[in-house]
Structure 1
Amino acid sequence: MNAIVAAVDLREHKQDSVKYACNLIGGIDDIDVSDREVVIKVGVFYPESGWYSTVETVESIIKAFSHAPRKYLVETDNYQGTGTERLKVWESLFSDTVIPVNLSDENETSPVKVPNPIREVVIDLAELVLKPRVFVNTHVMRTYEKGSILKNLFGLPPTRKKVQYHKNEIFFNLLTTLYEAIGGIDLSILDATYFSKFSKGKGARTRTDILFVGRDSVAVETVGFHFAGIKAQKNQVIQSFVERGLGIGDLDRIEVVGVPIDKLERKFGEARRALEAEIDSTPEPWSASKAVDGLIKNGYFKLPSKRTMSEAIAALKKADPRAENRDQMIYTTMKQRFDKGMLKGEKGENEWTFWTI
């Protein structure tokens, strides 16, 4: 059996984009019903980035589920802030029936054991996201090997310290296990209003005005990877899901309806080239590590000179104004270089002093 993914031009279907897409793939009458609530897992790492599903897209998702009694917009805490704070991106949509929920604050949870060869990992999964509720997933189009739609499940564990799950021996098992624990994703919306690329510490995005929608989340991710220039058949995220029979990751078995394929190929081919050109022309981002290492390499700390922490910070700010307001980052980097033996040092009454031999 093949999967169907709708590609919708947002310039032609801005108000009813998700409903229109759902009609193209056969409708959602079986999940848009009066006795099932809907959970919409949005993804926003930190609001300042702008890399999250637009208010218009999420509003269109809400409107598509016209029969559902309640729709929950859900997120969890991360080290950038609380889920409650980050959900405010969509605050204009909140109502008596559209309810923001920080899953990290939920008390009713079920333990989910994630296979891991190194140590036992158990996730306290909020019961709000479990069946019989409908689970809808939306994230943005980007050139990221670990995905967008399927990677968005990474936001379900309640802990802020999610970096512990990024190691390969647990990452892929985590995503597939969470997918199975919630009973699968009922509808996926890959928001390509903007298409983003992050490379070499630099980010860029361009407007593409496309929405990809499907019932098979693996197929939606596969289509997104293809137009992002990533080979899905070699991608470990896709293959992890395919191996467990959780979706279709073969483009030959995915029918893309709506916007013609050749038009999409041209659009995203041009977009990829534009993003690459923008990133290539963007100056390298300021790096505390590179800046401190530069001082060491150039002999700034070499005896008989001994430099205080404040002197080193002042030197970095003089060399590059982008070091302003980075005192804590510089301090941490200097201490790391001391711990690694790259700098000698001693802590005085008021501050650290460093030198090299």
Structure 2
Amino acid sequence: MLTSVVALVDLRKNRDSPVREAIDLIGGIDDLNNEQREAVIKVGVFGVNTPHYSTVGIVQDIVNAFNKSPKVYLAESDNYQGAALDRLQIWKELFTDRVQPYDLSRDPDTFKLRVENPIRDVVLQLSKIILKPRAFICTHVLRSYHKGSILKNLFGLPPSPKKAQYHKNEVFYNLLTQLYKTIGGIDLSILDGSRFCHHMDSLPTDLIAVGRDPVAVETVGAILASLKLSKHETIKAFTEKGYGVSDIDKIDIVGESFDEMKERCEKTLLQLKKRFSERPKPWSPTGALSKLISSGFFVSPNRRTIGDIESALIEEDPRAEGRSQIIYTNLQRRVKKGILMSEKTDDSVVFWKI
């Protein structure tokens, strides 16, 4: 028996009101969109330099779908890429008296959540704005990232910019599932596939997936992104808790043909992988020094100064210029491992290999 509904809408056919169309396909949201309930839209924006966040057009359409809500908040927290309010400026043209940016990292009205996990004490002070009775809407992009999109977006609720401290698997999956339970779930999920994001690149796929079951939406998105569900630990963690449906045979996909949208995404992913393979590899001090060592450059009686080493690396690859500090750090690591020897002189440090 089908237990969850996910709507697929082709943006090449409907760019004016795709979210509204998807909502109609899944049966409406009258219980969410009314004069008694404010709405919080958790937009997922890691950084502003790559378009790996829901477009202004899609977020505008989400806002329009909540036309009866007295207030609509676009919510985000700080991360190491920047302050929440700075990153939310992506959608500044949508801001009005009714539609406002909301900083989850500086809300004085908070509650405490202790995240149960086997390795460390994790206590969060979370903004109360994410709690019911407000409707909680989650939007993120279609991407080939094994830790998720819609469900992973909950990772942006903790206020600390130092979110790397929660990345260990023993904490990460418990954090997401406990956040979900604490806020009373995600009421509406919009996976924005305007573009398919792969690594730091993206190409248009022009679709959205929308549903009331975030696990089902995540599952559909994972399949569209050619991810293996058997290795998708985020989906597995939520399914084990009973928070949604991840069996594709029990998800009613309405609207556009799932097979056709999947084929479109597969072709786009092939293009993205090809572009990624053709990119020049970034300069690596570790690789560059390994190559220099293998060439015999450091073999005694040669004793190489920092200047000698930098000159040799720049001659091999001009991208080594201006990397003095990282080159020196990598040299010191080789010394500690016994790969190289070093000695201070009056005006430099010399390195050699016995």
In the other structure, the counterpart of 1:251 is 248
Verify: 1:267 aligned to 2:268, yes or no: no
Between 277-286 and 254-263, report the one with greater CA deviation.
277-286
Q: 1:233 to 1:313 in 2, by over 3 A?
A: same
Between 43-52 and 339-348, report the one with greater CA deviation.
339-348
In the other structure, the counterpart of 1:286 is 283
Q: Secondary structure, in 3 states, of the residue corresponding to 2:49?
A: helix
Query: Paired residues, what number?
Result: 353
Structure 1 position 11, deviation (Å): 2.0
Letter in 2 for 1:286: W
Structure 1 position 345, deviation (Å): 3.9
Between 227-236 and 188-197, report the one with greater CA deviation.
227-236
Q: 1:319 to 1:267 in 2, by over 3 A?
A: same
Structure 1 position 324, deviation (Å): 4.7
Structure 1 position 193, deviation (Å): 0.6
In the other structure, the counterpart of 2:100 is 99
Whether contact under 8 Å (2:223, 2:262) holds in the other structure is: no
Superposition pairs of residues 185-196 of structure 1, within 5 angstroms: 185-196=186-197
In the other structure, the counterpart of 2:132 is 131
CA distance in 1, matches of 2:224, 2:11: 17
Q: Secondary structure, in 3 states, of the residue corresponding to 1:41?
A: strand
CA distance in 2, matches of 1:226, 1:352: 54
Verify: 1:162 aligned to 2:159, yes or no: no
Q: Secondary structure, in 3 states, of the residue corresponding to 1:30?
A: coil
CA distance in 1, matches of 2:171, 2:346: 45
In the other structure, the counterpart of 1:114 is 115
Q: 1:333 to 1:260 in 2, by over 3 A?
A: same
Structure 1 position 332, deviation (Å): 4.4
In the other structure, the counterpart of 1:322 is 319
Query: When the two structures are superposed, what TM-score results if normalisation uses the length of structure 1?
Result: 0.90
Percent of residue pairs bearing the same amino acid type? 48
Structure 1 position 214, deviation (Å): 0.7
Verify: 1:232 aligned to 2:229, yes or no: yes
Letter in 1 for 2:180: Y
Structure 1 position 132, deviation (Å): 1.6
**Runs of 4+ more than 6 Å apart:** 347-351
In the other structure, the counterpart of 2:71 is 70
In the other structure, the counterpart of 2:55 is 54
Whether contact under 8 Å (2:310, 2:321) holds in the other structure is: no
Q: Secondary structure, in 3 states, of the residue corresponding to 2:19?
A: helix
Structure 1 position 309, deviation (Å): 4.1
Q: Secondary structure, in 3 states, of the residue corresponding to 1:149?
A: coil
Q: Secondary structure, in 3 states, of the residue corresponding to 2:105?
A: helix
CA distance in 1, matches of 2:106, 2:349: 41
Q: Secondary structure, in 3 states, of the residue corresponding to 1:49?
A: coil
Query: When the two structures are superposed, what TM-score results if normalisation uses the length of structure 2?
Result: 0.91
CA distance in 2, matches of 1:306, 1:134: 68
Q: Deviations over 1:175-224 (max 9, x none)?
A: 101111111111111111111222xxxx4322110011111100000001
Q: 1:309 to 1:45 in 2, by over 3 A?
A: farther
Q: 1:113 to 1:25 in 2, by over 3 A?
A: same
CA distance in 2, matches of 1:2, 1:50: 33
- CA-atom RMSD, angstroms? 2.3
User: Highest Rg: 1 or 2?
Assistant: 2
Letter in 2 for 1:173: N
Whether contact under 8 Å (1:6, 1:212) holds in the other structure is: yes
In the other structure, the counterpart of 1:219 is 216
Structure 1 position 322, deviation (Å): 3.2
Structure 1 position 352, deviation (Å): 5.4
Structure 1 position 328, deviation (Å): 4.9
CA distance in 1, matches of 2:257, 2:265: 12
